[in-house]
Structure 1
Amino acid sequence: MRVALFVTCVNDAVFPATGVATVRLLERLGVTVDFPMAQSCCGQPQFNTGYRRETQPLVRRTVRAFAGYRHVVVPSASCAAMVRHHYPPFGPEAADLAPRVHELTEFLVDVLGVTDVGAYFPHKVAYHPSCHGLRLLGLGERPRRLLEAVKGLDLVELPGAEECCGFGGTFAVKNPDVSAAMGADKLTNALATGAGVLCGADNSCLLHLDGLASRRGAPLRTVHLAEILASTEEEPWR
């Protein structure tokens, strides 16, 4: 099977290890991964801020970049939700792309039909479900099923898991005090689990929480789910 990787601009610019991990994971499962070089931002920041006209060129560019691919895999629930839920009104070509875009855990569980990806990660982990994955995509138990199958991983319950971390893209810019307070609550809950690692399917959330943890001097690492699933005994995550 051949797929296209939509790595997202946040991962490309700030978290390249997530994109690398996604490719390693998919190739380990027998998937051929292409990276269309024409891809750029999906337009979510502009769209969420109300700039629909400025979003249109980015939608058209994304549609062209992934034309011809049956499956487009995205290691970001936020960007996958943008394409799936907000692209269709931009025209028939955008509407055609929407159902071909899969968030990573959806692709693994629903398309490839796997939950045990052969990963090894001997750490205590708490999972934070992002709002877009939880509410717009309805990822449900898919991420947890994948984590539960990882050898050596101790998955612990995160109190208030379904509560927003406070990032919310431009919400954090417009409402910094509220955003920080929400993040502090999420961080307190994560620390209460005793986990050394907090993982999620959106690096935007993890960026927010990692910043708060660093300021507090908290002993907690944030790691994208793809990096955990790509980790093996032969090539351990560090």
Structure 2
Amino acid sequence: MKVALFLTCLNDTLFPGTGKAVVRLLTRLGHEVDFPQAQTCCGQMHFNTGYRRQAVPLVRGFADAFAGYDAVVTPSASCGAMVRDWHPRLAADSGDRALAARVAELTPKVYELSEFLVDVLGVTDVGAYFPYRVTYHPTCHSLRMLRVGDRPLRLLREVRGIDLVELPEAAECCGFGGTFALKNAEVSAAMCADKVANVRRTGAEALCAADNSCLMHIGGALTRTRSGVRTVHLAEILASTEEDHA
């Protein structure tokens, strides 16, 4: 299978280790992963702030960068949802029929990591080892837009050594929401405080999620409150082996 990694600009800039973890994981499972150098932003920031027309060139750039692959895998439910849910609509609204056709062909091949592992590869035990107490936060885009359901939890339950504990009120938003956190800082901070309180209640050593944007938001509060809880992306747990903890 010809697989491409859609890393996203946030991960590429701030969390490159997550992309490396995806490559390490999929390589271990027997797949070769390409990183198309032409990839850029998916256009979510433009779209969410009302610049729909300015997002269209980014839709076109995505279609160009990822053409010809059997699957496009991303460690971001947020950006994955932007591509799957909104790229087809933006392409159709642009009036460019050729672009709309290309996008319609490509977007069904775009998968968030847990979807790709469970639905396409048909695996839940990826040979991971992570000997820590972990709780999982289902981010809004993964839960409500991509509807990944329990796929991440099914993968985490198969990780050797893990002590996976349930997060109270897990489905509640952490308050990040991209520009929401900037435009509504006080509300965002209050929502994050509630999330942090629930994370601390679990006694977890690590908080896991499928979006580094949300982990960055929650992680900042966990650090400021000296909770001792670290954040770790789902891909990094799944890529971890006993050799990493020797």
- Does TM, normalized by the shorter one, top 0.5? yes
Return the letter of the residue paired with 1:150.
V
Aligned partners of 1:22 and 1:230 also within 8 Å: yes
1:84 is matched with 84
Please name the residue that 2:223 is paired with: 214
Q: Does residue 1:54 correspond to 2:54, yes or no?
A: yes
- Which digits, 9 at most, give the CA deviation of each residue in 1:188-210, with x for residues without a partner? 00000000100000000000001
1:138 matched residue in structure 2: 147
Equivalent residue runs for 1:38-77 within 5 Å: 38-77=38-77
**Structure 2 counterparts to residues 193-232 of structure 1, below 5 A:** 193-232=202-241
Contact 1:88/1:96 (<8 A) preserved: no
Task: Find the aligned partners of 2:24 and 2:108 in 1 and give their Cα distance.
Answer: 24
Identity within the alignment, %: 65
Please tell me the residue identity of whatever aligns with 1:2.
K
Q: Does structure 1 residue 181 correspond to structure 2 residue 194?
A: no
Residue 12 of structure 2 corresponds to 12
2:8 and 2:102 map into 1 onto residues whose CA distance is 20
Q: Per the alignment, in what secondary structure is the counterpart of residue 73 of structure 1? A: strand
Q: Which residue of 2 aligns with 1:116?
A: 125
Mapping for residues 19-38 of structure 1, pairs under 5 Å = 19-38=19-38
Indicate the residue corresponding to 1:172 in structure 2. 181
Q: Distance in 2 between matches of 1:168 and 1:95?
A: 27
Distance 2:170 2:108 in 1: 27
Q: Secondary structure at the match of 1:235?
A: helix
- Aligned match for 1:97, one of 69, 87, 106: 106
Deviation by residue 1:16-38 (Cα, 9 ceiling, x = unmatched): 00000000000000011000000
SS at match of 1:199: strand
User: TM-score scaled to structure 2, two decimals?
Assistant: 0.95
Deviation readout 1:145-194 (Å, 9 max, x if unpaired)? 00000000010000010000000011011101111110110010000000
Aligned mates of 1:50, 1:229 — CA distance in 2: 36
The amino acid of 2:235's aligned partner reads A
Count how many residue pairs are aligned between Structure 1 and Structure 2.
237
User: Does the CA-based 8 Å contact 1:42-1:79 persist in structure 2?
Assistant: yes
SS of the counterpart of 1:214?
A: helix
> Which letter does structure 1 place at the counterpart of 2:4?
A
Amino acid at match of 1:146: L
Structure 2 letter corresponding to 1:201 = A
Contact 1:8–1:41 (8 Å) recurs in 2:
yes
Query: In 2, Cα distance between the equivalents of 1:96 and 1:163?
Result: 34
**Aligned-residue CA RMSD (Å):** 0.9
Q: Which one is further off, 85-94 or 187-196? A: 85-94
What runs of 5+ residues in structure 1 fail to find an aligned partner? none
Instruction: Give 1:214 shift.
Output: 1.3
- Residues 124 and 196 of structure 1 are in contact (CA less than 8 Å); yes or no, is this contact kept in structure 2? yes
User: SS of 1:116's equivalent?
Assistant: coil
Question: Over residues 10-56 of structure 1, what are the superposed CA-to-partner deviations in whole Å (9 max), with x where a residue is unaligned?
Answer: 10000000000000000000011000000010000111111101101
Flag structure 2 segments of 5+ consecutive residues without an equivalent: 92-99
Verify: 1:162 aligned to 2:166, yes or no.
no
Shift of residue 86 of structure 1? 0.4
